Amino acid sequence: MRRSVIGLLAIGSAFGVTACGGGGPSSGGAAGAKGPITVYSGQHEQTMAKLVTDFERRTGITVKLRSSDEGSLANQVLREGSASPADVFVAENPPALTVLEKQGLFAPAAASTLAKTPARYNDPNGQWVGVSARSAVLAYNTGELKAAQLPATLLALGGPQWKGKIGFAPTETDFQPLISELDALHGAGTAATWLKALKANGRVYDDNEALIAAVNRGEVAAGIMDHYYWYRLRDEVGAAKTTSALHYFGPGDAGALVDVSGAAVMKSSAHAAAAQRFLAYLVSRPAQRIIATSESYEYPLASGVKTARDLKPFGELKPPPISVDDLGDGRGPLRQLQDAGLL
Amino acid sequence: MPGPTATPVSVPAAPLGGACRRGWRGRRTGAPGGLLLAGLGVAALSLLPIVFLVLEVRGVSLSEAHRLLFRPRIGRLLTNTLGLVAASTVLCAVVGVAAAWCVERTELPGRRVWMVLLVLPLAIPEFVSSFGWVSFLPGLRGFGGALLVTVVAYYPFVFLPVAAVLRGTNPALEEVARGMGLSGWRAFWRVTLPQLRLPVLGGGLIIALHLLAEYGAFAQLRFPTFATEIYVEYQLGFDGASAAVLSLVLVLLSLALLTAEVAARGRGRYARVGGGATRPHRRVRLGRRAAAVLGGLTLLVVLALGVPLSALVYWVLQGSSSTLPSSSVWGATVTTLEYAAAAAAVTTVLALPVALLSVRYRGAAGRGIERTTYVPRALPGVVIGLAMVSFSLRSAHGLYQTSTLLVLAYAILFLPLAIIALRGPLAQVTPRIEDVARSLGLGPVRAFLRTTFPLLRSGIGAGAGLVFLSTVTELTGTLLLRPTGTETLATRFWTYASSLSYGAAAPYAAVMVGISALPAYLLIRRVDEAGA
Amino acid sequence: MNAISLRGVTRAYGTTPVLRGVDLDVESGAFAAILGVSGCGKSTLMRLIAGFDHVDGGTIDLGSVRVDDGHRALAPERRRVGYVPQEGALFPHLDVRANVAFGLPRRRRGQARVDELLDLVGIGGLQRHRPHELSGGQQQRVALARALATEPEVILLDEPFSALDPGLRAETRAEVRRAVKALGTTALLVTHDQDEALSCADLVAVLRDGVIVQAAPPRELYRAPSDVPLACFLGEANVVPATIEDGVAQTPLGPVRLRDAAGEGARGVVVLRPEELTLTAAGRDAGGANAEVGAVEFYGHDARVELRLDDPAGALPLIVRTGGHDAPEVGQRVVCAVGADGHFVGDGHAPDDLGRGTGTVAAA
């Protein structure tokens, strides 16, 4: 894949060089069944790389993987529009998918693919399929807090007893759905009030990696984030040095949000058939098993595959009755964060 | 005999006819047309990101722009950004000048080693050093933390040019001042320091622009600036327009900085007058102050090098995720070297006409062109990256996601480094030698290549070295613009570090620091040559 | 034939005119000098001839080739004009040998040719030296050898001796003139030093305020300058008011015979060099005018004496050079007479403020 840069420059007439991304004309016939396909992925790269290798081995379709952070990738695809070299877009959170879907950049996912995962975790319009899931949690330092002190609801964290004890990373893409969720469950304005209270109570962190490390050190007593950050930290520092634990919010609470990663086929794909096969593969049993055993600590979404990790069983998660579509495209929460002075 | 002998003597001395024979040029004043054209081309390249930024802002309604610019947070961002730029630049200047003076003008033991140690922080990527700091001092945050981390990371931008000038200036100047009855300290203040004005301003400008664009370190240290805010806008709102509005604020700030630097530079030109070989300076005996100077320099090196490097070592040893295939380090290393070499070569070539115009033809055009190339330095990599994405998709589709486009983006980002490195040596070379070469029968390009160019070696080496270092550690633009599947050391480091696999990430950072040894050597040679 | 021919050359920088219509002809094989104070435009003129700069108006011909006509200009490398700038501008990264061989095509860069050139300029044996290891005079000679190597038709010398100390200057100057003459190359020297111009050039052109005020062989220029400021610029001069009567100039010093005819009845001044006046002790009847010695500068071989002439129109100051052996004392009464034919400059050429008395070099 890697081309010699020097060689490329030596060629001189740079305009003759085509993109490595392979957005060129289809070589696999009208259906484009043979690929190669280009996958833009904002997902955990190591897991994605495993999935890609397995897919290539099973189908013989070559996959070019472009991993980056989800926001940059989504912005990139927004600029590319119908000229995108991407065949498949994989995102960590629904808002990125919703943004691109609104621009009409996705092709509908095959019905057979959508059927593999619970409908509530897919796009209601059938444009993208949920692949894996994460639960919002409260990570807390076991030296600082006792289990009895932990709140049942997300809203409770706005209370005075949490002053100076709560950390959060408002710029993380995991945090935004919580804002949409609060308004959807408790009415408009709830989130705005809660954000103000949280800002007064809490400490702002740049990302969840920094937040979970701070919680584990005891720098802050508790932090709002997705569950897997804690597991990854435990892997890195070892169980002996893990002085924190996870707390799940009560059933149906906004804090019990289950967030999904999803994937879609680009409408502009010249290898649509191969791209659909990739989507189908992501929710197939072998792929879901890879997710179930991966170091990304996410829940597989396809029915019949259970996580092999020591996570709280997926069936025991009790998310509120909100559809992924209600989470919006991220612009609403962004504005609320700006208005609250957090951005 | 070369060409000129072929000029027929029989050509009548009549008014020139219509046919334009080879060797005849149209009338011109000031800079030669070819050079001006090349300079304008480079300036146009630098303006590309700004043009696409403006195009993007056009989509923002006035009321929305008002809401974005006049929300409460902007005040804080402005205070943070400007306060840090001012404080950090001034401190970098103080630290850089002090360190350079100690190394160049005192009987410091092991000067050569100190030189290397004091330059090496340039080789440490900002996301590695801030990561190192945060791992050691988790409480480090806000203004103080940002100030500490940026000062120890960026003071070499002042240290290097100042050391070169201290080495190259005529010791007689200071001796004359001492002879006129000035104390050592006052002689430094009134004679030496004014000679350092240009290198300090040049280095300070680079630092200030860099701080405007800095993202990684401030994100780690939780110190919000315009640059971090721009990232968040892209990340959360997928909103290019509002990020572009904030980016334009950075453009305005950079223009203000550039104007301020021109004003501060004044009409000063401290070229060495008169010829003769440089005598080495008499070094100040440190005596009882030796302990203080050694202590100070040691502290600086520990802060700038020790902290980030030991964080790397710590994570390699402690991390449980350091199970990586060595082939991936090797592949990423080769790719990184190729890109860095290509970027260094292209950027230096592009910098040459701009530096020539600004040093030799100090008209409005030359200055305008030079200043234009500095503006993109104040923009975060993601802004340049996305603008280049827009540009190539709209106007040069064949370039999209090619190495060529990525190298061009590196050139836009790092041109000022190469230009500033060339300015000093270029000012020392008299254009007369090119005149002489022309009169000896060489065309303008050959005359430049055979006379001035060889004399710029050290400046070219230093500029290429800085660009090389910066390319090795560039992340955000690389993520956006690289060909799909291309991995550099920086993208690999990011992949692992962003999933908390610090043990796996650390070797990539270690290699990044390691391969920066050569450019660091080039930078030190520039200082050596200044004294030769 | 003329090797260099300028007609009406003008050049301005912005709105400041530097050259305002320069005419100049230099014969092939001549050693010419352009003399002028700093800032008079002489370096600009040189750069125009070399082709580093282009004229706004007028023409420049080199031999029979028109190299610049205000619209198009021949590139410097095609003019066959050698150039020796101030301070030599040797290529600092090359040794002496490589400097001299720089303009030669590869096959002619042999040792013999370089040796020959270095011997010609009188510094054989320095081939391997670096420019910074040479003295100022040696640097200039290398620069000359380098310029001569390509056998140019014309060689331009831009104040090449100004950075040298006086002793070295005369020696280097003579060496350069000898080398240039030996090759028959036309040379154009630019200088602000009157002695330099007068002593080594066949033709001296004086550039003032952007025009050539006079171009003539050194003797003619010195003895018959076209106006008073020029006379003073070329050396000390006594400027004495005069009226032409009976073909001689009537002056406070008595009648003075003229070298050139002047119109009867014309008013103006006579220019007399200090060495053209003689002094005798008062009382001896030698003819001339009575005067009192104001100051004496004694140099041994000669002396410079300042006088105040007893003149009904006011005390006219005069300067006289006498032999050192008979220099008068301050306050002594003397008789001053004219010992040579004078040079008359009519009123039309004499600005009021310079119309009387002694001129100084700086007056130009």
pLDDT digits (tens, 9 = 90+) for B174-189: 667 666 666 777 777 7
- Provide the percentage of residues in chain B whose pLDDT is more than 90: 28
Interchain proximity B402–A9, CB inside 8 Å: no
- C-alpha angle C6-C11-C15 in degrees, rounded to nearest 5: 160
**B220, B223, B229, B233: CA torsion to nearest 10:** 50
Nearest by CB to residue C151, choosing from B1, B23, B430, is B1
Q: What is the distance between the alpha carbons of residues C36 and B475, in angstroms, rounded to a whole number?
A: 62
Compare all CA atoms of chain B with the CA of C4 and give the residue at the minimum distance. Answer: B13
What's the confidence (pLDDT) of residue C179? 87
Q: Rounded to 5 degrees, what are φ and ψ at C249?
A: -90, 125
Q: With 0-12 CB in 10 A as exposed, 13-18 as middle and 19+ as buried, what is A319?
A: buried
CATH T-level assignment (fold) for domain C228-363: OB fold (Dihydrolipoamide Acetyltransferase, E2P) (2.40.50)
Question: What is the location of CATH 2.40.50.140 in chain C?
Answer: 228-363
Q: Which of C108, C150, C156 is facing B440, going by the closest CB pair?
A: C150
What is the pLDDT of chain C when averaged over all its residues? 85
Query: Domain C2-221 sits in which CATH superfamily?
Result: P-loop containing nucleotide triphosphate hydrolases (3.40.50.300)
Shortest Cα distance, chain C CAs vs residue B279, angstroms: 13
Give the pLDDT band of residue B220 (cuts 50, 70, 90).
confident
**Band (B268; pLDDT cuts 50, 70, 90):** low
- Name the least confident of A173-177, B98-102, B322-326, C282-286: B322-326
The answer as to whether B12 is a domain residue is no
pLDDT along chain A (343 residues), means of 10: 40 35 39 82 88 95 91 90 94 89 94 93 93 94 92 92 92 86 88 92 85 91 94 87 94 91 95 95 95 89 85 91 78 81 76
Residue C221 has pLDDT above 50, yes or no: yes
**Count of the separate structural domains present in chain A:** 2
Q: Does A8 touch chain B (CB under 8 A)?
A: yes
A155-159, B129-133, B180-184, B355-359: least confidently modelled range? B180-184
- Verify that A76 and A52 share a domain, yes or no: yes
Q: Which of B112, B392, B433 is nearest to C93 (CA)?
A: B433
Give domain status of residue B17, yes or no.
Answer: no
- Does A322 reside within a domain? no
Considering only the beta carbons, identify the residue of C78, C89, C102 that sits closest to B23: C78
* Residue B58 scores a pLDDT above 90: no
Helix (H) or strand (E) holding B360: helix B326-360
| CATH for A144 | 3.40.190.10
Altogether, the residues listed in chain C come to a count of: 364
Chain C 95-124, residues with CB within 8 Å of chain B CB atoms? 102-105, 108
Q: Which residues of chain A make contact with B400, given a CB cutoff of 8 A?
A: 19, 21, 23, 83, 85
**Distance separating alpha carbons of residues A63 and A50, to the nearest angstrom:** 12
Pair A203, A128 in one domain: no
pLDDT, residue B327, reads: 62
A75 & A128 share domain: yes
Whether residue A107 is found in the same domain as residue A141: no
Query: Residues near B96 by Cβ (< 8 Å), separated by ≥ 6?
Result: B155, B156, B157, B158, B159, B162, B200, B203
Which of A132-141, B35-44, B424-433, B484-493 is the least confident region?
A: B424-433
Chains that contact C by 3+ CB pairs under 8 Å? B
Picking from A1, A74, A330, the nearest residue to B485 by CB comes out as A1
CA distance C72 to B233: 57
Cβ neighbours of residue C36 under 8 Å, at least 6 residues apart? C42, C192, C206, C207, C208
Q: How many domains does chain B have?
A: 1
Q: Please, are residues C218 and C212 in contact by the beta-carbon 8 Å criterion? A: no
Instruction: Measure the CA–CA gap between C318 and C320, rounded to whole angstroms.
Output: 7
| Same-domain check for residues A335 and A218 | yes
- Tell me the shortest Cα–Cα distance from A136 to chain B, in angstroms: 17
Distance of CA A124 to the CA centre of its chain: 18
* 8 Å CB contact between B60 and B239: no
CB atoms within 10 A of CB C58: 19
CA distance A18 to A38: 14
pLDDT tens digits along C148-189 = 888 899 999 988 888 777 777 888 888 888 888 988 999 999
* Cβ contact C77–B14 (<8 Å): no
Longest Cα–Cα distance in chain B: 86
The kind and range of the H/E element at C81 are strand C81-84
Distance, in angstroms, between C82 CA and closest chain B CA?
6
Q: Tokens representing B529?
A: 């040559």
Predicted confidence (pLDDT) per residue in B405-462, tens digit: 999 999 999 999 999 888 878 887 888 888 899 989 888 889 999 998 988 887 888 8
**Rounded-to-integer distance, Cα B46 and Cα B57, Å:** 18
Same domain, A332 and A211: yes
DSSP letters for C5-40 = EEEEEEEEETTEEEEEEEEEEEETT-EEEEE--TTS
Confidence tier at B318 by pLDDT (50, 70, 90): low
Among A2, A208, A268, the residue to mutate for chain B (most B Cβ within 10 A):
A2
pLDDT of residue A27: 40
pTM (2 d.p.): 0.80
DSSP β-bridge partners for residue C333? C292
CA distance from start to end of chain A = 39
Between A187 and B11, name the one with better pLDDT: A187
Checking if the pLDDT of C280 tops 60, the result is yes
Task: Assess contact for A45 and B499: CB atoms under 8 A.
Answer: yes
Which domain range does residue B416 map to?
Answer: 31-266+288-530
Give the one of A72, A83, A217 whose C-beta lies nearest to B480's C-beta. A72
Tell whether B143 is covered by a domain: yes
Q: Once rounded to an integer, what is the mean pLDDT over residues C48-64?
A: 92
B111: domain CATH number is 1.10.3720.10
Please list, in sequence order, all residues whose beta carbon lies within 8 angstroms of the beta carbon of residue A317, skipping any fewer than 6 positions away. Answer: A135, A248, A256, A258
Which stretches within chain C are classed as H helix? 42-50, 96-101, 111-120, 136-149, 166-183, 194-200, 218-223, 228-234
- Go through B483-514 and write b for each residue having 16 or more CB atoms within 10 A of its CB, e for each that does not: bbbbbbbbbbbbbbbebbbbbbbbbbbbbbbe
Q: How does C60-71 read in b/e, with b if 16+ C-beta sit within 10 Å?
A: bbbbebbbbbbe
Least confidently predicted of B8-12, B170-174, B473-477, C324-328: B8-12
Assigned domain for B152 exists: yes
Enumerate residues 6+ apart whose C-beta is below 8 A from B74: B68
pLDDT at B30 over 80: no
Task: Identify the CA nearest to C179 among candidates C198, C200, C197.
Answer: C200
Place B500 in a pLDDT band, splitting at 50, 70 and 90: low
Most confident of A66-75, A257-266, B220-229, B265-274: A257-266
Q: Is the peptide bond before A36 cis (omega within 30 degrees of 0)?
A: yes
Can you give C31-42 as a three-state secondary structure string?
Answer: EEEEECCCCCCH
Which among C127, C131, C83 is positioned nearest to C103, based on CA atoms? C83
Over residues A303-336, the pLDDT tens digits come to 888 887 889 999 899 999 887 777 777 778 888 8
The predicted model gives B367-387 an average pLDDT of 90
- Nearest by CB to residue B275, choosing from C63, C87, C149, is C87
> What mean pLDDT, rounded, does chain B reach?
81
Q: d(Cα B343, Cα A5) in Å, to the nearest integer?
A: 10
Of the candidates B176, B238, B151, B160, the one whose C-alpha atom is nearest the C-alpha of residue B523 is B160
pLDDT value of residue C286: 61
Cα C81 from Cα A336, distance rounded (Å): 76
Spatial strand order of the sheet with C57-62 comes to: B24-26, C72-74, C65-68, C57-62, C2-13, C16-27
Pair C229, C364: CB distance under 8 Å: yes
Asked if residue C253 lies in contact with residue C337, where contact means CB atoms within 8 angstroms, the answer is yes
Tell me what the mean pLDDT of segment C236-248 comes to: 87
Is chain B in touch with chain A: ≥3 Cβ pairs within 8 A?
yes
Nearest to B146 by CA among B205, B254, B225, B226: B225
What's the rounded mean pLDDT across residues B284-307?
87
Strand partners, C337: C278
Let me know: does A220 contact A162? Beta carbons within 8 Å.
no
pLDDT at residue C241, as a whole number = 87
What is the predicted ipTM?
0.80
Average pLDDT for residues B1-11, to the nearest whole number?
34
Q: Could you tell me the pLDDT band of residue B323, with boundaries at 50, 70 and 90?
A: low
> Does A71 share its domain with A202?
no
Cross-chain residue pair A9–B386, CB shorter than 8 Å:
no
At position A36, the amino acid (one-letter code) is P
Confidence of residue B507 (pLDDT cuts 50, 70, 90): confident
pLDDT at C285: 62
**Residue C289 token pair:** 């005018």
Q: Are strands B24-26 and C72-74 parallel, antiparallel or unpaired?
A: antiparallel
C75:B20 CB<8 A: no
Residue A289 belongs to a domain: yes
Contact B498/A3, CB-based, under 8 Å? no
Residue B531's pLDDT band, with cuts at 50, 70 and 90, is low
pLDDT band at B277 (very low <50, low <70, confident <90, very high): very low
What is the least distance, in Å, from the CA of A313 to any CA of chain B? Answer: 23
Together in a domain, A26 and A84? yes
Phi, psi (rounded to 5 degrees) for A64: -100, 120
B328 DSSP β-pair partners: none
Residues of chain B in contact with residue A80, where contact means CB-CB under 8 angstroms, are: 389, 393
In the numeric block, which tokens belong to residue B67? 């809401």
Q: Is the pLDDT of residue C146 over 50?
A: yes
Taking the Cβ of residue C135 and every Cβ of chain B, the question of whether any pair is shorter than 8 Å is answered with: no
Q: Tell me which residues of chain B, numbers 332 to 371, contact chain A at a CB-CB cutoff of 8 Å.
A: 334-335, 338-339, 341-342, 345-346
Rounded to whole angstroms, the Cα distance separating A226 from A176 reads 12
3-class DSSP state of B428: helix
Boundaries of domain holding A184 = 134-257+328-339
Closest by CA position to C216, among listed C7, C35, C345, C11: C35
- Is B398's CB within 8 Å of A329's CB? no
Task: Please check whether residue C82 touches B, CB under 8 A.
Answer: yes
